[in-house]
Each structure stands twice: as C-alpha cells, then as structure tokens.
Amino acid sequence: VVMALQSFVDCTLTWDDMKWFRSVTKMKIVLKGVQRWEDAVMAADAGLDGIVLSNHGGRQLDFARSGLELLAEVMPELRKRNLSIEVLMDGGVRRGTDIFKAIALGANGVGLGRSAIWALGSYGTEGVEAYLQILKDEFELCMKLCGVKSVADIGPQYVSCDFLQAHVTAAPARTLAVGQYVPLKSAL
C-alpha cells in the first residue's frame, strides 16, 4: 500500500506547474498538504481555488503540525494580504467542537477522514449517517453554548490559540504502580 501511495507523490512539481494547470483548465484546483503560510500565499497568487491544510493524518509526517495549528498561522497572513482562497482543514476532526474551532479560525470547511472510515467499516452506510448526525448535534450544541445563532457569526473570539503550539506537556505521574507492584523474584 505504501508503495502504491508513493506513486502519487511527484516531488518535481513547482509553483510554475500550478500556474500551468490553472492555464489549461477551468476546473477548480485545490492543493492538499499545505504546511506553511508562505505556501498558502503562493497558492493564492498562482490562482488556485483552494488549499487543504493537512499533515496527511500524521502518518507520513508524524512530526508535522496539525491542521488547526496551520489554520491559526495561515488565516491571519491571508487576511493581511487581502487574499481570497478557499481554505479547508484536514486532520484531527473527531467532534463537532473541532469543526466549530476550524470555522472560528477561518476554515471554509473540514475533511472527515479516519472517523468516517471507521464508521463505514464498522456499521456501513448507517454508521456514516449516524456519525454525521452526531457531528451535527455536537456542532449545534457548541454554537448554543457559545451563544452563536448562525455559522456566519462564528469567529476567532470563540477560540484561544495561546497554547496551540505547546506540544510539550507534563506527563502525569504513574501512581498506580507505586506501592502496588511487587517485582518477580529471580529463580536464580
């Protein structure tokens, strides 16, 4: 599977190629895997219709930043330059509150990958429908708890990004083993 997926990656693509794609088609062009605000700006300058802020599920680049971190960085830079491009966030969306946070930070939408696949694999079409209903219910509850009446009213004032990039946290102490564990005695 990894080898098959790698065949879709072309490391020779450049921004000139993006401009060429734009010149030969009227189809919408969306670039997935944007990891830096500079690339978001270049995508807008190249005439692309949208970008997907994504670390590809964290599997290929397990050290890459999450879509939410990228969103908090990319959107202010796009606004500062008055650039208009659709911005989607992919990765880490598990609850309706995740969708609310993404919209609050400026995303036009989110990708629902792994969780939807789990629902499909476990319960088929009905599982996906139930999953989407749960997301909708959680999203609407989040809106109500924040006092927001419409999606258009959701904004960055509802999300704190102060510690978004703080990946290092204190690990909880392992207290269960303290005083409970008796090591096996050696047979020797």
What is the C-alpha to C-alpha distance for residues 60 and 172, in angstroms, rounded to an integer? Answer: 28
User: Which residues, other chains included, contact 36 with Cβ-Cβ below 8 Å and sequence gap of 6+?
Assistant: 70, 73
Does residue 167 carry a catalytic annotation?
A: no
Q: Given 22, 36, 56, 95, which residue is catalytic?
A: 56
Q: What is the CA radius of gyration of the chain?
A: 21
Across the chain, the runs of DSSP E, i.e. the strands, are 30-34, 50-53, 86-90, 109-111
Report the distance separating Cα 89 and Cα 110, nearest Å: 5
Q: Residue 101, Cβ neighbours under 10 Å: how many? A: 26
DSSP symbol at 41: H
d(CA 178, CA 185): 18
Q: How far apart are alpha carbons 112 and 106 in whole angstroms?
A: 17
What residues are labeled active site?
56
